[in-house]
Amino acid sequence: MTGARRVERPAPAEDLHAAAERRRAARALLRTPLLCAEGAGADDFRLVRRHRAELERMFADGLGYRLVVEPTTARLFKTGLGRDATRPLLRRNGRAFTPRGYALLCLTVAALSRAKGQLLVDELVAQVRSAAVDAGLDIDLDAIADRRALYAALSALADLGVLHERDGDLEHWAEQRTASLLDVRRDRLALLVAAPVGGVDGLAGLLDAAALPSAAGGARVAVRRRLVETPILSVDTLTEEQAEWWRRARNREREWFSDRFGVEVELRAEGAVAIDPAGELSDLEFPGGGSSRQLALLLMERLAAALRPAAREAAAPERVWRRAGPDLVARISAEVLADWGAGLKKAHREDAAAALAEARAVLVAVGLVRVCDDEAWLVHAAGARYAVRASISEQPSPSAEEET
């Protein structure tokens, strides 16, 4: 007796257009975790709405992140990496929020949680004063410094779509006490705070609670979060379980990041480097334009070359972070300034110490350098990938020189 032959059906072809849309939507959420239906992110928000189910599942299973999509807002609750001070909230002028600014931002959120849907800025100021009294904080909103810090908080909430200026002149409120009528988007305000605050004792406890790994993800989620949140993954920062998982899965992970986010993961003996070819996902561009980044790149290239011979003979842990003593750092800094200082902007040519401090801050922020108590630098092995061929171009005019 002959049996019927089973016909194998081919797997349905992947919809490449839909996959590209999901990738764009996922990148938009990583770049802007609170995405609104209006403004510059409107097109991306529509894609998030269209692929909501797939994105919710991908972020939950892949990174342990929770995605909430509402009619006019999408919120990706990213947990961050805990006590990491390298990614501050920035004001509109590019400067980092001060502790005073963070305090006033929290007080403003607290005040808005019990405010009506529309109010004058002076009414909001009165409620912020009340919230400060309840919190036991000494805030003087008649002093210009605190008024500027409060303006920074209001601007940040406006940029997030939580506040909308219906009428008035909020931009000049701090100095000129101008009037302004504000709309409060309470639905977005409710999505703003990422971590539960109940039962948390102090700021450190809040940061630790926010960064707890997913119970279902384990090593996989922890390692992926590091690559999403920081450009450099170092095996020396991983637990034994995480390092073992990374050794087994790193080739698959390269494909996972490419398929979901369009990110290239460069595998290295000391870990990995995540690279976005489009240059959109990182809030810190390196290498990049600007005098500080150019100087940082030149310093990194010289330091990596100087440390390379000794690194070849070092044991595995010492190959990840290579120590450059204070004398070596000073000598290479002087050499780089002597060779290329003429190409820096005027302020850096006139203040070499400030120029070097800014360049060092760039390298620390991107994870390539750690500064020791004795002013020695620990240089990450990934710094060796930044080999430069530098030249000084002719400047067409003095005015253009100042913009370098």
The predicted-structure confidence for 372-381, as pLDDT tens digits, reads as follows 999 999 998 8
pLDDT in tens, 153-163: 999 999 989 99
DSSP codes, 254-300: HHHHHHHH--EEEEETTEEEEE-TTS-S-SS-SS-SSHHHHHHHHHH
Is the confidence at residue 288, as pLDDT, over 80?
Answer: no
Residue 395 pLDDT: 52
Q: Supply the mean pLDDT for the chain.
A: 83
pLDDT bin (cut points 50, 70, 90) of residue 313 is low
Reply yes or no on whether the pLDDT at 301 is more than 80: yes
* Residues in CB range of 92: below 8 A, 6 or more apart: 152, 155, 159
User: 98 or 205: whose pLDDT is higher?
Assistant: 98
Check whether 394 has a pLDDT greater than 60.
Answer: no
pTM reported for the whole predicted model: 0.80
Q: Which of 24-38, 40-54, 195-209 has the lowest mean pLDDT?
A: 195-209
**Per-residue b/e over 177-188, b at no fewer than 16 CB within 10 Å?**
eeebebebbeeb
Which pairing describes strands 180-184 and 66-69: parallel, antiparallel, or unpaired? unpaired
Q: What pLDDT is attached to residue 39?
A: 82
Render pLDDT for 234-276 as a digit per residue (tens, 0 to 9): 888 888 999 999 999 999 999 999 999 999 999 988 889 888 8
CA gap 117, 128 in Å, rounded: 16
pLDDT at 398 (0 to 100)? 47
Residue 389 confidence class, pLDDT cut points 50, 70, 90: low
Q: Does residue 265 contact residue 30 with C-beta atoms inside 8 Å? A: no
Residue 178 has pLDDT above 50, yes or no: yes
- Pick the more confident residue, 42 or 207: 42
pLDDT at 311 over 70: no
* Percent of all residues in the chain with a pLDDT value above 70, rounded to a whole number: 83
Peptide bond into 213 cis (omega under 30): no
Judged by average pLDDT, the poorest of 128-137, 267-276, 307-316, 328-337 is 307-316
- Per cent of the chain over pLDDT 90 is 39
295 Cβ contact list (under 8 Å, min separation 6): 336, 340, 344, 348, 355, 356, 358, 359
* pLDDT at residue 95 in the model: 85
At residue 286 the predicted structure's pLDDT band, cuts being 50, 70 and 90, is confident
> For position 319, what pLDDT does the model report?
72
| Mean pLDDT across 111-122 | 88
Give per-residue pLDDT as tens, 335-375. Answer: 999 988 888 888 888 888 999 999 999 898 888 899 999 99
pLDDT of the residue at 50 = 96
Highest mean pLDDT among 54-58, 79-83, 337-341: 54-58
User: What mean pLDDT do residues 299-323 have?
Assistant: 76
Residue pointed to by tokens 């000049």: 172
pLDDT score for 192: 86
| 103 vs 97: CA distance, rounded Å | 10
Better pLDDT: 80 or 358: 358
CA distance 322 to 197: 40
Per-residue confidence (pLDDT) for residue 232, from 0 to 100: 84
**Confidence bin at 403 (pLDDT 50/70/90):** very low
